[in-house]
Amino acid sequence: MSTILLVHGAIADGSSWSEVVPLLQAAGHDVVAVQQPLSSIPDDVAKVRSVLDELEGPVVVVGHSFGGVVITQAAHDAPNVSALVYVAAFAPDEGESAQSLGEPFGQLESASHFVVDKQGRFTLPQDLFPGYFCPDVDPARARVLAAVQGASDVARFGFVSGPPAWREHPTHFVVAGNDRIIPPALERFVAERMNARTTVAESAGHLVMVSQPQVVAQAVLEAAR
Catalytic positions, written as ranges: 65
Q: Residue 172: helix, strand or coil by DSSP?
A: strand
Report the distance separating Cα 50 and Cα 121, nearest Å.
24
Q: What is the rounded radius of gyration, in angstroms, for the C-alpha atoms of the chain? A: 16
Report the distance separating Cα 93 and Cα 28, nearest Å.
33
> What value, to the nearest 5°, has the Cα angle with vertex 15 and ends 13 and 16?
80
Report the distance separating Cα 97 and Cα 131, nearest Å.
26
Whether 171 and 85 have beta carbons less than 8 Å apart is answered as yes
Q: If we measure between CA atoms, which residue out of 202, 194, 225 comes closest to residue 63?
A: 194
Reported in sequence order, the residue ranges of 88-221 that DSSP labels E, i.e. its strands, are: 115-116, 121-123, 152-153, 171-176, 197-201
